[in-house]
């Protein structure tokens, strides 16, 4: 049984930009629509939850209106969705109230009882929990790929596979997966490849270009970029996005204020990400040579092969770095206490640098044995680099890692 796809009238189109226009320009000008009222340069914020319903409206003959009730879509969400669509090079994009909202609607729309979903075990803890819940609630089977088990899609994708889900780079160990290789294996068995592109952003990586069927984002992170809004996005072919969109009964639309802020934030995405890429690389290199650090996780650093994949599919390696601190949780506590302005908080992708301990935040829902199997040890620290001065970040981290001279902490 397939879901009914509710055909809604399309909102008015945006002024198209020529094909040669690049991402930084698209972020600024990609969602211009003639404003017949005031001629405003900035798209307005529409707070209305409901829209006029012309008595002659008929869903069977959808001439108008494009909006009825804000949960099903509202005009403030259109410009940011359009920008994300263009940046990912997709046919359609739909916004959600959070990344988890986007993931929940995607999985629920595309799986049926008995389907197999192939997913790596070392992904964002919330997504893992969601998939585990769907195993019980919907009757899907998740084929969890353990880290280190295999990098070859053909070892785990089979005829029963319906969806393949990847994060690349992954959360929190920043493993890079070969999108093209997973896409062709998924394609060979008629499965869909879904890539969570939250960590890379479309500035650094465009999974659809390498054969992914759908891209999902937590727009709460880099796309929002200021740690002050929650949103999610699903991007891909219109037919698939419409199927997922049919699930707006889940109520997962972003509110107009968040959509307005997201539109504003997207304008600076390429500047922010370029700086975050630079800061993360500088920090990763500095940590690699630091005696207090046992191991650094940075996209592409696991092997020569992974580096080649990252070179091929990523324009920049992103703003995230993780590392294992020698001395486990005691050393981590001390390090966190000593930081001056790198904030200790979960989440990522904002203009401010944040540090978190996955064991206590993003992956706290997993049992300790499972966490260790995934490589999430007690000394693991995850850094989200912001746009501060590189030298200041290096200094704050270096001083927090210095050997202890007093024992008060």
Lookup result for tokens 């991402």 = 23
| Contact code string over 163-182 relative to ligand PLP, x by CB under 6 A | ----x---x-----------
Q: Which one from 128, 221, 243, 272 is the annotated catalytic residue?
A: 221
- Nearest-angstrom CA–CA distance, 59 and 9: 9
Q: Does 98 contact ligand PLP by CB under 6 A?
A: yes
Site string for ligand PLP, 358-397 (x = CB under 6 A): ----x-----------------------------------
Q: Strand, coil or helix: what is 213?
A: coil
Indicate whether 205 belongs to the interface with ligand PLP (CB under 6 A).
no
Asked if residues 66 and 11 have their Cβ atoms less than 8 Å apart, the reply is yes
Nearest distance in Å: CB 114, ligand PLP: 26
Q: Which of 106, 109, 204, 218 binds ligand PLP (CB under 6 A)?
A: 218
Q: How many residues bind ligand PLP (CB under 6 A)?
A: 16
220 lines the binding site for ligand PLP (CB under 6 A): yes
Shortest spacing between CB 165 and ligand PLP, in angstroms: 11
Q: 């920043």: which residue's tokens?
A: 174
- The number of angstroms, rounded, from the C-alpha of 361 to the middle of its chain's C-alpha atoms is 17
Distances (CA, A) of 124 to 37, 121, 168: 44, 9, 11
Residue 19 tokens read as 């094909």
**Are 169 and 318 contacting, i.e. CB atoms less than 8 angstroms apart?**
yes
Active-site annotation holder among 124, 222, 297, 298:
124
Instruction: Considering only the stretches 131-139, 196-204, 246-254, 309-317, report the one whose residues sit in contact with ligand PLP under the rule CB under 6 A.
Output: 196-204
Residue 99 contacts ligand PLP per CB under 6 A: yes
Complete DSSP assignment for 18-84: PTT--HHHHHHHTT----TTT--SSPPP---SB----TT-BTTB--S-S-SBGGG--GGGHHHHHHH
Site for ligand PLP in 102-131 (CB under 6 A): 124, 126-127
Q: Which two tokens stand for residue 232?
A: 């999610």
Distant-in-sequence, close-in-space partners of 263: CB < 8 Å, separation ≥ 6: 31, 43, 76, 79, 80, 83
Give strand pairing partners of 88. none
Order of strands across the sheet with 232-236? 92-96, 232-236, 214-218, 192-196, 161-167, 116-120, 141-145
User: Which token pair is 196?
Assistant: 């969570």
Identify which of residues 98 and 279 has a Cβ nearer to ligand PLP in the complex: 98
- Residues 258-317 within binding reach of ligand PLP (CB under 6 A): none
35 is catalytic: no
Select from 97-105, 307-315, 386-394, 397-405 the region that touches ligand PLP (CB under 6 A).
Answer: 97-105
Q: How far apart are CA 367 and CA 127, in angstroms?
A: 15
Which of 115, 122, 178, 196 is an active site residue?
196
- Alpha carbons 263 and 27: distance in angstroms, whole number: 9
Q: Which residue, 99 or 319, has its beta carbon nearer to ligand PLP?
A: 99
Which residue is nearest to ligand PLP, using beta carbons? 99
- Pick one of 168, 198, 258, 302: the residue that binds ligand PLP (CB under 6 A): 198
For the window 34-63, what string marks contact with ligand PLP as x by the rule CB under 6 A? ------------------------------
The minimum distance between CB 125 and ligand PLP, in angstroms, equals: 8
CA separation for the pair 398, 291 (Å, rounded) = 11
Contact flag: residue 255 with ligand PLP (CB under 6 A)? no
Q: In sequence order, what are the beta bridge partners of 253?
A: none
* Residue 349 CB, nearest approach to ligand PLP (Å): 9
Residue 260 annotated to the active site: no
**Min separation Cβ 255 and ligand PLP, Å:** 14
Shortest distance, CB of residue 141 to ligand PLP, whole angstroms?
22
Catalytic residue flag (residue 221) = yes
Decide whether 67 or 124 has the Cβ nearer to ligand PLP.
124
Closest CA to 408 of 334, 343, 311: 334
Find the part of the chain contacting ligand PLP (CB under 6 A) among 56-64, 139-147, 195-203, 252-260.
195-203
Binding site for ligand PLP (CB under 6 A): 98-100, 124, 126-127, 167, 171, 196, 198-199, 218, 220, 230, 232, 362
Please identify every residue annotated as catalytic.
Answer: 71, 124, 196, 221
């Amino acid at each position: 049984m397939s879901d009914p796809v509710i055909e809604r009238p399309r909102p008015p189109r945006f002024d198209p930009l020529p094909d040669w226009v690049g991402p930084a320009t698209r972020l600024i000008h990609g969602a211009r629509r003639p404003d017949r009222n005031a001629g405003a340069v900035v798209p307005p914020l529409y707070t209305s939850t409901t829209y006029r319903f012309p008595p002659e409206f008929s869903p069977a003959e959808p001439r108008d209106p494009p909006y009825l009730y804000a949960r099903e879509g509202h005009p403030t969400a259109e410009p940011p969705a359009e920008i994300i669509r263009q940046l990912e090079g997709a046919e359609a994009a739909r916004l959600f109230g959070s990344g988890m909202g986007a993931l929940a609607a995607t999985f629920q729309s595309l799986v049926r009882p008995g389907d197999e979903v192939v997913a790596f075990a070392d992904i964002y803890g919330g997504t893992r929990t969601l998939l585990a819940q769907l195993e019980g609630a919907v009757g899907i089977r998740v084929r969890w790929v353990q880290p280190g088990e295999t990098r070859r899609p053909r070892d785990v994708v089979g005829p029963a596979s319906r969806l393949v889900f990847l994060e690349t780079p992954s959360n929190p160990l920043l493993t890079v997966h070969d999108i093209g290789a997973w896409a062709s294996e998924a394609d060979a068995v008629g499965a869909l490849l879904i890539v969570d592109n939250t960590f890379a952003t479309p500035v650094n990586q465009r999974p659809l270009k390498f054969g992914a069927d759908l891209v999902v984002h937590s727009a709460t992170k880099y796309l929002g970029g200021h740690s002050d809004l929650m949103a999610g996005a699903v991007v891909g072919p219109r037919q698939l996005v419409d199927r997922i969109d049919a699930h707006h009964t889940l109520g997962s639309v972003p509110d107009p204020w968040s959509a307005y802020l997201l539109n504003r934030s997207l304008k600076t995405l390429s500047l922010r990400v370029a700086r975050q890429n630079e800061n993360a690389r500088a920090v990763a290199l500095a940590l690699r040579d630091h005696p207090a650090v046992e191991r650094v996780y940075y996209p592409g650093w696991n092997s020569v092969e992974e580096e080649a994949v990252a070179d091929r599919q990523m324009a920049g390696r992103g703003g995230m770095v993780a590392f294992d601190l020698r001395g486990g949780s005691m050393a981590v506590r001390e390090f966190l206490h000593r930081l001056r302005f790198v904030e200790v908080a979960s989440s990522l992708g904002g203009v401010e640098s944040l540090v978190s301990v996955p064991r206590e935040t993003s992956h706290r829902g997993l049992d300790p044995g499972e966490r260790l199997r995934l490589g999430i040890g007690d000394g693991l620290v995850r850094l989200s680099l912001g746009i501060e001065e590189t030298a200041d970040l290096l200094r704050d981290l270096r001083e927090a890692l210095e050997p202890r001279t007093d024992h008060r902490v």
